[in-house]
Structures are given as C-alpha cells and as structure tokens.
Amino acid sequence: MIQILIILTLFCSSSAETTYNVQSFGAKSDGKSDCTKAFLSAWGAACAAMSPATIYVPQGTYLLGNAYFAGKLCKNTAITIRIEGTLVAPSDYNAIAKSESWLKFEGVTGVSIFGGTLDAQGSQLWACKNSGNACPKGATSLAFYNSNNIMISGLTSLNSQMFHVLIDGCNNANLVNMKISADGNSPNTDGIHVEKSSGVTIMNPDVGTGDDCVSIGPGASNLWIENLACGPGHGVSIGSLGWDSQEAGVQNVTVKTATFSGTENGVRVKTWARPSNGFVRNVLFQHVVMSNVQNPIIIDQNYCPNHESCPNQASGVKISDVTYQDIHGTSATQVAVNFDCSKTRPCTGITLDEVNLTYKDKPATASCANAGGTAAGVVEPTSCL
C-alpha cells in the first residue's frame, strides 16, 4: 500500500508540469492572423491547472491586439510563459492605442516570462505625436498591476507606443537581461517605469529609447537597478513626483553600475513645483560612467512646464539622503552637477563622494540652490553643497 502511494506520488509529481502550446489553441505564427483569443485561451487553461504550467510560444510572429491576462479567476501561482517568437501589435496604431496597455497582467502571482520579443510598432503614433496633431495617448506594451512574485527574463521590447514596461502596485518583481529599444525621438517611450511597488530588482537592462530609460514614480521602495546601459534616452529619473498634494514617497533606491551614453540626463530627481507631502529618501547612485550627458547629476524641484498649474512655485517634496558615489565621465553642458531644490523644503543629506565630471576636457561647474550635504574624496567640479 505504502509502495503504491509512493509510486503514485512520483508519477503525479513527474507529470505535474503541463505545457500549453498557443498553437494548440489556434494561434498561427504567420504574423497576420489575430492570436489574441488563442493566447487568452492558453492563459485560461494554465490558470485552471492546479500545478505549475508553461505557456509555450514557438518561433514565428504572432499578431495580438489588447490582451488582458486577469489574475482574478487564476488559481495557479506558478505560470511560466516561454516565448521563442515575436508578438506584434496591429500596424494601425488605433487598434491598441485606446487601451492603457497592450499586454496587461493584473492581480497575478508567480508569473514568469522567459525570452521573446514584443514589437508594438509604435512609429506611426510617434509621428502623429511629433506632428502636433491630436493623437491617442498610446498603450504601454507590457504592464503588471497589483501582482506579486513576477519574473521577466531575456525579453526584448521594441517600438512601444507609450512605456515599454510598467510595474505598478507590485511586490517582488525581478526583471533580468531585458533589451529595450525605440527611436531617440519617440515621445513618452519610457523603458521601465516602476511605481507603488516594493522589492523590484532590475538586472542588466539595456535601454535605448526616447524618454527615461528607467523612471520611478510615487510609492516605489526597495528598488534595485544594477548594470544598466542607457542611451539614447533621458536617463534614470525619480519623478516626476509631487503632482498630488497627498502622495506616497520614494525610498531605498539603488542604482549600481550604470553607463549613460549621449543621454539628456544621467541620474535625475524631478518634482513638480507644487504643494505635496511626498518625499525621496535613501537613494544611492554608485559606479556610474557618463559619456557626453547633458545633465549628468540633476535634482530639479522647479519642474513646471509652461509655468502652469504651480500656483506657489515651490515643491513640497522633501529630498534627503541621496548619495552620488564614484561618478565620472563627460558632460555635454558646462553645468554637470545641478541641485535645484525646493525653497520651502530644501534638500538635506546630499553626499558627493568621488565624483569627477569634465566638460570639453575642462572642469565643469556645479550649481546649488537650497541644497545641503557633504563632499568626500575627489569632487570635480568643486562641490557647492
């Protein structure tokens, strides 16, 4: 009896992992047939399985419209999506642009995506936006909302309409070896945006895009970014923060080992010049190489485009304990270090430690307003803290 039980147990555990090939659900890899239903059916089957499940996307091109992978009725907390092919959005941008996301996961736990390429074909929407005409806002290519224990590994995202990847309201997400690419002139195509999330780790991201390589919104905490290559793009940005008067703060952010090439900013903190109870604290930027970056180190608390919607022209966001350690390279403008802090809530605890930035082979300059802190080791341009 006991032996039979053991054999049964072995049998069950060895056959436990089930694979759902999207082609068995009707997906065609011709790049022309709409595969949205087939992908959602595979998702439904994986969700209904009581043991770990893999959704397998073989080589080829799969056309997908807006796809919503809902966690609400999903019992499975171990779903792997293994992608060998490319998922493309319809060439007419209106097909997916009405929704905020192209591929949306919400309320899921334990979803991993391995490999694959997403091509949202955003270029015609960028052209529309750049022409100044009225155009839809566009869809984020891959969004995770209110989800836990997420892994994205080896995924390539091309030509998003809006953000490439969004992590919002999540706990414990690992983004590894992602490659993100869009034109340097593509508007709002942030690489990875993280907000209202804790325990997000981004390892080895390679991002070239038209907006921030990584952007960090309200309520991000315990965020780790390591070994980033950024350019073209607008750098790593904490912000914009402080639009709302009641806003969750950003804390415990580490950006370790990063290269910025020809970007608009390097490491930036940006807040609206509006009243807010938001904050930024405990941030470390470490081992960073700047190559011809317009604003290598910048805190901008006077953000108020067109001087609209900022009645008192001061940011309520309190910035404290931000460390810049081992940052070197070249600035494309003379002011390489710019701390423009709030006059009502000055920055405190800013640390510059081994910073050497040059402008046309000469020392650059530093500019400080309402910024307090210390400098250690070699600091060029001379600290104004």
Ligand X SMILES: *[C@@H]1O[C@H](CO)[C@@H](O)[C@H](O)[C@H]1NC(C)=O
State the minimum distance, in angstroms, from the CB of residue 187 to ligand X: 30
Nearer to ligand X, 96 or 173 (CB): 173
Please identify which residue in the block is written with the tokens 């901008």.
Answer: 300
Nearer to ligand X, 224 or 243 (CB): 224
State the minimum distance, in angstroms, from the CB of residue 254 to ligand X: 6
Q: Is 380 in the site for ligand X (CB under 6 A)?
A: yes
Of 10, 12, 16, 378, the one binding ligand X by CB under 6 A:
378
Burial 231-245 (b: 16+ CB within 10 A, else e): bbbbbbbbbbbbbee
- Dihedrals phi, psi of 127, to nearest 5 degrees: -60, -40
State the minimum distance, in angstroms, from the CB of residue 226 to ligand X: 10
Q: Residue 169 carries which side chain, given as an amino acid letter?
A: G
257 touches 299 (CB < 8 A): no
Q: Is 252 in the site for ligand X (CB under 6 A)?
A: yes
- What lies within 8 Å, CB to CB, of 245 at 6+ separation is 274, 275, 276, 277, 316
Q: Which of residues 185-244 bind ligand X (CB under 6 A)?
A: 222, 224
Of 257, 292, 356, 367, the one binding ligand X by CB under 6 A:
356
Of 21, 227, 254, 261, the one binding ligand X by CB under 6 A:
254
Rounded to whole angstroms, the Cα distance separating 265 from 252 reads 21
Catalytic one of 234, 287, 307, 328: 234
What does DSSP assign to residue 128? H
Three-state secondary structure call for residue 178:
coil
Nearest alpha carbon to residue 169 among 191, 147, 139:
147
Two structure tokens written together for 136: 């839809």
Nearer to ligand X, 114 or 224 (CB): 224
Rounded to whole angstroms, the Cα distance separating 180 from 163 reads 10
Three-state secondary structure call for residue 129:
helix
Q: Is the dihedral of CA 26, 31, 32, 36 positive or negative?
A: positive
Q: Is 193 a catalytic residue?
A: no
Give the catalytic positions in this structure.
234
Interface residues toward ligand X, by CB under 6 A = 222, 224, 252, 254, 356, 358, 378, 380
